[in-house]
A and B are shown apart, each in its own frame.
Chain A
Amino acid sequence: MFRTLCVAFGLALISVGLAAAEAPDDDARLLVKRVIDAAPEVPYVSRMELTTPGGLVREFTMSGKHLENGIDARYIEVTGPMNLKDTRYLLYDRSERRDDQYVYIPFMKRVVRLSEKTRGEPFLGSTFFVNDMIKRRLDEFTYRFVGDETVGQRACRLVECTPKQPEGETYSKLIIAIDPIDLVVMRAQLFDHSGKLFKVHTTDTLEKIDGYWTPRQQTMRNLDDNDLSQLTTVEMTYNAPIGDDIFREAYLGR
């Protein structure tokens, strides 16, 4: 069962797959599926730094776990700067129902649910959208090969991913560059609803941690505004011993 499509970014890219000997498959969908299958299903905790286009630095921790009820959950807690400390996000990706997202605003001591539309908005003032930080479902897209290209010194196959229901999607189309050997996404070109390329995500450095290819540094360029943000994985722990309780709404306002 194809639960999620790891498109390009954030955790999706953090969860790139295990190394594979080769991927001679010509079927684009199958190649994407192999990338997803290679992604770690284990719980993890990471410490990350995000720079905004204005050069401001946001520090946060991110934990992820596949819950028993079929939800892929992400918990994000801002640790710096001081005035944003303790701002927390909870993102649910459900396979059957609508996704949910919550934010805890410390100065108000209040948990606020965010509309789904906020997923198409910048995360912590960066060029990454909230949507770029979560997984997408494989069956929501159609796939086709559109070429080959060397990206980051890796020979990649280019796969065009088109949402079956573009309404409500942040992007009208994605072209991802997949290294078919290591099954990692090296680049994603994101198109807006007018069909114009407006963001490009690149995996700048990769490192194998606990047997998983893990992006150490990623860049998201917004071509419209000529802005860029960088996401750095400072620490990554796979198979982290985290319970389900931190992925509950009540935990946000603890």
Chain B
Amino acid sequence: MTVQSTPAGAVQSDRPGGAGDETGRGGLAGRAGGAGLRRVFRRGHHLWFALPSIALVLVFFAGPFAANCVFAFLNWTGYSGTIRWTGLGNFRLVNELGILRHAIVVTVVYAITSMVVQNVVSLPLATALQQTNRVNSVFRSIFFIPVLISPLAAGYIWAAVLSPQGPFNAFVSALVPGGFHYSWLGNNVSSLITVAAIDAWKWTGLVTLVYIAGLSRIPRVVIEAATIDGANAWRRFWSIKFPLLAPSFTFNVVVTLVGALSAFDVIMSTTGGGPGDATTVLNIAVYGQYGHGYFGTASALSLVVSLLAIGTAVPLMAWLRRREVPV
């Protein structure tokens, strides 16, 4: 309602200015030559408005993306002036070095862990905070705080909390006899899961808000009808809310999973890829190759990240979309 009344008001207040501009535009079109060109200009206006964006996206997103598909197959290092086509040479090289397969496995485990933690934590959190009242607003704003800090900062904070003598182990020590000084980030097994969970912690607040938005779009009558029919809270959630939440669920699962495939920051501030190469995800490996001047292999690994992202997002989206029910 209000949306419709605003433009009308805006137009009316604009009329004097609009009339003034008419002559200006007429002059420009006249100079360009006649009504025919004016029509072209009119139709082409869309292009003019999109042009800055198109240029930026083309040069700094689409261009590099396309170039990466070429660079990945070039023998190109900082130590030699010549750049040669090498076919799958870069991929073979990183595979022989034991980087490729390991980094893919680490990246996939990281992404799945992070996605699962984010959604498993935020879904009940959103259900608990769905109603807008004063207490819930306070909780919502508290749980949102980690979203605002940088992933680097999140890494430093949790590296301290989870350090062998840190508060987390101190708490566990109080429960189990004999003290507990496990190095969460220093062990091959736990470090990967731990960094992924830290990443998840940083974004959970945002995922929760998306679920809250999705929950509040569910028509009240449906929930009330189920309540009257005797469905308890548990049943109402799984039989009504969760199926109707499918669009938010699709969005969150895809975004968190694909986002975590390009993990970098949290790892840099916690383990740096270690211990050994236990947390060396693809992007960390890209940085390593790049830092040593191996631009070809760095591009190859970077292309693998892109392929993983596309290969995950497209089928996942198609599959999750199928179970969405129109409300």
Do A and B originate from a single complex?
no
What residues make up the interface of B, taking CB atoms closer than 8 Å to A?
none
